Amino acid sequence: MPNAAAASARAVQGDDLAGYGFLLPWLLGFMLLTLGPVAASFYLSLTDYSGLSAPNWVGIENYTRIATDDPRFITAMTVTFTFVLLSVPLKLLFALGVAVALNKGLTGLSFFRAVFYLPSLIGGSVAIAVLWRQVFAGDGLLNQALHALFGYEGPSWIANPLTSLYTLVLLAVWQFGSSMIIFLAGLRQIPQDIYEAASIDGAQPVRQFFRITLPLLTPVIFFNAVIQTIDAFKAFTSAFVISDGTGGPIDSTLFYTLYLYQEAFTNFRFGYASALAWILVLIIAAFTALSFLSARYWVHYDD
């Protein structure tokens, strides 16, 4: 019996070693490519580092300057929060509306689902941002269409500080496909007998939507809202391409990530950019935490 127990223990240890062996590539990648750079960025955020000389320890000086003496930080925060507060709700509303329409049993559902999902695959690319700039330029496709249809001479939408940010919001809303697919999957999980019972009781489609569909879909809405909010805070490519990396006109498209990029790779203030990056992490973490805290009041699960 002791020999059998020892053999069993050795077999278990062998299985454990095999498991750790399979995990080793991921662990190395996490340590070297994720955890290491994260720790290095936190250290650099406490230094004055240009990338050309050794880091100079300055403590919390970068954070103090951000909080008290950086007007462009305030501008970047304002632009980014405006973008998030506009693009996320509009994208979710549009995605939910399309998902509800597709859930009605349209012919060729798979085709339409693929077509509507396509912008999410290509919408964040440089090529689409360049195309978007051509559409909303002074002589772009939008103004050509407005002139042909209504005789209206439109402005250069991307060069006007009053409208440039809204073109980026529109681009973000256009990339609604991933949220739409998730909403559609959630709608398919709602039992049809609930709707049948509501119809028998005389509930009209609008009442069914607000009394049945939305409450049962709140977990999916919550998931999409959190994911899309995080993505909106990290938006970069569209603003970089459309403004040629400047955040113009007059900083109207200066996303937080674009400002961080400028500080690091234009001004070579890597320590200051690292501090900006950590503030962004804290902002996203705070929004996510608040979302989870509020979820108990409006998200309805099976229990």
The answer on pLDDT for 247 being more than 70 is yes
pLDDT of residue 23: 86
Beta-carbon neighbour count of residue 11 at 10 Å? 10
Q: What radius of gyration do the chain's Cα atoms show?
A: 25
> Is 12 a residue whose pLDDT tops 70?
no
Q: Are 230 and 284 in contact (CB under 8 A)?
A: yes
| C-alpha 27: how far from chain center | 26
Which residue, 11, 47, 3, is CA-closest to 273?
A: 47
228: closest CA among 61, 35, 107, 83?
83
Q: What is the dihedral of CA 107, 111, 117, 118, to 10 degrees?
A: -150
Work out the number of other CB atoms within 10 angstroms of the CB of residue 128: 18
> Which of 25-29, 83-87, 259-263, 277-281 has the least mean pLDDT?
25-29
Sorted by sequence, the CB contacts under 8 Å of residue 299 that are 6+ apart come out as 218, 219, 221, 222
Asked whether the beta carbons of 45 and 62 are under 8 A apart, the reply is yes
Rounded CA separation 97/134 (Å): 28
SS3 13: helix
Closest CA to 241 of 131, 157, 83: 131
pLDDT tens profile 150-173: 888 888 899 899 999 999 999 999
Burial class (CB in 10 A: 0-12, 13-18, 19+), 223: middle
Q: Report pLDDT for 121.
A: 75
Mean of the per-residue pLDDT values of the chain: 89
Whether 2 shows a pLDDT value over 60: the answer reads no
> pTM score, two decimals?
0.89
Q: How many CB atoms lie within 10 A of CB 51?
A: 13
The per-residue pLDDT for 91 is 96
* Per-residue model confidence (pLDDT) at position 10: 59
Answer yes or no: is pLDDT of 11 > 80.
no
Question: Which carries the bigger pLDDT value, residue 244 or residue 81?
Answer: 81
pLDDT of residue 17: 81
pLDDT at 9: 55
Q: Which of 85, 63, 33 is nearest to 282 (CA)?
A: 63
pLDDT, tens only, 91-133 = 999 999 999 988 886 666 777 777 888 887 777 778 888 888 8
Q: Which residue has the higher pLDDT, 139 or 226?
A: 226
CB 129 within 8 A of CB 135: no
Other Cβ atoms closer than 10 A to 193: 8
* pLDDT range class, residue 303, cuts 50, 70, 90: low
CA angle 143/231/182 to nearest 5° reads 95
21 pLDDT above the threshold of 80: yes
Tell me what pLDDT residue 127 has. Answer: 82
